[in-house]
Copies of this chain bind each other. A is one copy, B any other.
Amino acid sequence: MPHASTALLTDMYELTMIEGALRSGTAGRRSVFEVFSRRLPGGRRYGVVAGTARVLDAVEAFRFGPEEIDYLAAAGVVGEETLDYLREYRFGGSITGYGEGECYFPGSPILTVEGSFADAVVLETVILSILNHDSAVAAAASRMTVAAHRRPCLEMGARRTHEGAAVAAARAAVVGGFVGTSVLEGGRSYGIRPIGTAAHSFTLVHDDEEAAFAAQVATMGPDTTLLVDTYDVPRGVERAVAAARAAGGELGAVRLDSGDLVAQAFTVRQQLDALGATSTKITVTSDLDEYAIAALGAAPVDSYGVGTRLVTGSGHPTAELVYKLVAREDAAGRMEEVAKASASKSSVGGLKVAGRVLDGAGRAAEELVVACTQWEQGLAELERAGARPLQVPLVRDGEIVEEHRGPGALEAARERHRTSRAELPYAAWRLSEGEPGIPTRMLDVDRADDPDYVV
């Protein structure tokens, strides 16, 4: 897919900062920016990294072409010297991050951007937009697939979110374990299986339910899914089974989209079985979230279609990730830790190297985050602690590591999430509000005499 420029999906202050830094001579200082969250929204037990492949696409397309430059000049956003810098801009630094789909916790350095100050600061907005959105949806999706046990979950929320966000949400849902999407652009852009049959309007445009069901079976075959609640559910079920049989087959599934889904699932299952349609499945789709899915756990339901609550992050539509300068070159050319000190938003300075420590039973026990100056220092600490390193190279000196996007990357992210989640202690899978599933231990190798501290 060709990408239009992503360069103006950027807050103005990124560019005025470049202008100021060009003036003061700090624009070229080597810098380390880090994406992390101070907390997990809503007392969640874990977060899910999603959007990494989209970040790589956005970084590649982050170029200020003539149209972007013309706008910036006309609007007087920055002056000529800065426009010259932007005209030539192409990210030449390195990006390291948690593999897409990996679980994360407060303080996990899920993305690290290294480059000159100007090169790296300007990516802040678009990187956060992508990761905050996609990770929020993936976290909700993951909770829903936990609640669904192995029953398939299908994404159907396009209409309840921005049209572009809908496509990204379909992708993020797959990272979290969903297996299909209603939105066709999700199929085209990311190879996700498109799903869907008919809405109530299809039944209503026909003279009666029988005519609608016959038309759908004629085009989609008897193994389609018929929506049976436009008028009266028991009659709808009867007609649905009859329509499939009239076409020489057994009905694939019925869909319930209103009413008390638990009670209806039982009565519809009974009715289907009494009609001999024992292979006909039941799919439910009305206002589901992870709690409703859990409540349907004992009901004879075969799949879940989730809309609003999935694409809006089930109450938490943004992952609260931030992008902070944690280290930069000083006037003497040495790298120095930096961190905002004031008030409620303090953060820990320094490059961070992260690993997951497992206990004897192979369960995750701790997120070990080492603040250091060099990657090698941190990796040595992880090895000492027996921790699995969590960061992988995504961009090396401006060159994108292709395996993390493109065909296969989404399936790999889904699998990585499945494995990472399975490794968490049972308590991390709980839907209730609580503490993160494992604690984050922050170790600062440059402060050897400080006690370790936990964020």
**Which residues of A are interface residues toward B (Cβ below 8 A)?**
6, 8-17, 19-21, 23-24, 26, 29, 31, 33, 58, 68, 71-72, 75, 77, 79, 117, 121, 124-126, 128-130, 132-133, 156, 158-169, 182-185, 187-188, 194-202, 204-207, 211-212, 214-216, 218-220, 229-233, 257-259, 286, 308, 311-312, 317-318, 320, 323-325, 328, 330-331, 338-345
Contact = CB atoms under 8 A, between A and B. Distances in A.
Contact of A163 (B58, B161, B202, B339): B58
B220 A325 contact: no
25 contacts: A9-B163, A9-B184, A14-B196, A17-B199, A17-B202, A20-B215, A20-B216, A20-B218, A29-B205, A71-B187, A117-B201, A121-B199, A125-B182, A126-B163, A129-B160, A132-B159, A132-B161, A133-B161, A162-B164, A162-B165, A204-B328, A229-B343, A233-B343, A258-B344, A311-B318
A120 to B, nearest CB: 9
A184 B12 contact: yes
Contacts of A8: 183-185, 187-188
Oligomer copy total: 2
B198 A125 contact: no
A215 B29 CA distance: 15
A334 to B, nearest CB: 12
Contacts of A258: 342-345
A120 B29 CA distance: 56
B161 A196 contact: no
A182 B318 contact: no
Given A20-B219, A312-B318, A198 B13 contact: yes
A206 B23 CA distance: 12
Given A184-B8, A233-B342, A342-B231, A128 B159 contact: yes
Contacts of A165: 133, 161-162, 164-165
Contacts of A129: 158-163, 166
Contacts of A197: 13, 16
A324 B231 CA distance: 15
Given A124-B159, A230-B341, A219 B317 contact: no
B340 A24 contact: no
A184 B324 contact: no
Nearest to A130: B163
A354 to B, nearest CB: 21
A72 B158 CA distance: 18
Nearest to A27: B205
Nearest to A347: B200
Nearest to A203: B340
Max chain B CB contacts within 10 Å: which of A8, A75, A220?
A: A8
Contacts of A342: 229-233, 258-259
Given A21-B202, A200-B340, A233-B343, 6 more contacts: A16-B198, A121-B201, A124-B199, A133-B165, A205-B328, A312-B312
